[in-house]
Structure 1
């Protein structure tokens, strides 16, 4: 039987990022429910990926629930063994009374989610412009727009590419990013004017397909997809898959805490962000 805290957090996450918004290919929601009685400490660990290090950290910090943005289980499994490091992390969590919840594309689609956070960084301090989904909008049962995958930012006043690059670095707290400059633009490439930016957290190629913009801003794209974009006159900014997602975790922590308080969850709890979760690739 689910604990009251697990039920409360699952309900709060559903209000933050309704699971009905997730893409059909995705695997979201409560993916691991521990069969053990949870500890008296009500603690949520937020992370992008449930790695071995994050699992060990969660056990050491006596978390009762991990909210991992990326699904820990995607396809069907024929076995569940310690030989597979990712499965071993889940088994260790279960053995220590830690459940796992994953929101993924539900959190991408929803208004106020990860893609809107990326859009805020692109628009700068005055946030002058418009933001709309790249994909067809999804609607709640009562007819309200709930968002969709991707965002298209249209700046009120065009800025140069070097301004966009600076905004991305500052927002994501990165010293380096990868930029592909459109091959048919005149003058200095970093001085080219930008008005529209297509945004997708993580891997954006499929979301960008058929969408025209001055810039594609995402975590990663395949080589031939970058070549096609710059040949068609679109600049490309790549930052590393999880680098476009991890900075949202403090916002999620605030949202989750507010939702639990609003639901009047009476017992003490805390929400922490993993210190060991990080992008798996480094510049050396």
Structure 2
């Protein structure tokens, strides 16, 4: 029987596509805040201001909001949640709240998948493993922290962090160069070495563990020789080097951002195509960046 039910909005199609790729059930709800964090007002005057454009970003900064409004995005997929804790007010006195007010006024929705992307098969941590190894060795991958609760069909065994044993152990310099290239040509990284270790071809790595973002809790207790993460506390890094492990950090969001371009964008485009969306544009933010950068004081 035919109905006159309206077609789902483009924003609804984007949310459905993201949920198929990275179900909300994969997120660590004990502390994370994922899902649709800012909906669109049911006002045709507002939705008329936007187009079938989705903007992908790692963080929702004011510069990214400017960009979203300029490209007339109807939905922003921000990897990191723009709201972590409950809000008691929405004012222009707080930068994040001011950004939300601007998006509300423009009819732009915000969806944040965060740890669901970390945990998913083919998600952020699998990508991080892939760029470090770069196809130079066959790998046997293990999830460091499997999710114990029931998961949607097809996502069994998902979890946080990855450990990979290399069929062909690789020298440390090769792995560092692979990591740099995979992160978009990042020139500087931080490395913590155990006493007696050097960055040389003689430093052979048989096993690697990765955790995008902040990896201290996930990587603790693993037996990999090389640990790769976005950031790690001083004391945790010292613990690992005293245990004979090498720690590499690249800044928190730098360990995540290139995933948007290399994996999420094509995955989302394909999912939207399969859902029957005829006209749409998926963009990756050009304004999103890590708040930290490394400078050479001698050049000042």
Give the TM-score band, short-chain normalised: over 0.9
* Aligned equivalent of 2:271: 259
1:15 and 1:141 map into 2 onto residues whose CA distance is 10
Q: Answer yes or no: is the 8 Å Cα contact 1:46–1:68 preserved in 2.
A: yes
Residue deviations 1:214-254 (CA, integer Å, cap 9, x gap): 01100000111111110111100000111111101122111
Q: Answer yes or no: is the 8 Å Cα contact 1:34–1:95 preserved in 2.
A: no
Which of 163, 167, 170 is the equivalent residue of 1:152?
Answer: 163
* Aligned equivalent of 1:140: 151
2:61 and 2:137 map into 1 onto residues whose CA distance is 35
Q: Verify: 1:4 aligned to 2:4, yes or no.
A: no
Any unmatched runs of 5+ in structure 2? Answer: 1-5, 296-300
Task: Give the TM-score taking structure 1 as reference length.
Answer: 0.94
How many residue pairs end up in the alignment?
281
Any unmatched runs of 5+ in structure 1? Answer: none
Residue deviations 1:42-91 (CA, integer Å, cap 9, x gap): 10000000000000110111110000000000011111111000111111
Tell me the SS of whatever aligns to 1:80.
coil
* Aligned equivalent of 2:32: 26
* Aligned equivalent of 2:250: 239
Structure 2 counterparts to residues 118-267 of structure 1, below 5 A: 118-137=128-147, 140-142=151-153, 145-172=156-183, 173-183=185-195, 185=196, 188-190=198-200, 191-250=202-261, 251-266=263-278
Which of 113, 118, 122 is the equivalent residue of 1:112?
Answer: 122
1:85 and 1:144 map into 2 onto residues whose CA distance is 37
- RMSD of aligned alpha carbons: 1.8
Deviation at 1:265, TM superposition (A): 2.2
In structure 2, the CA distance between the partners of 1:97 and 1:157, relative to structure 1 (3 Å rule), is same
Q: Answer yes or no: is the 8 Å Cα contact 2:120–2:159 preserved in 1.
A: yes
Deviation at 1:152, TM superposition (A): 0.4
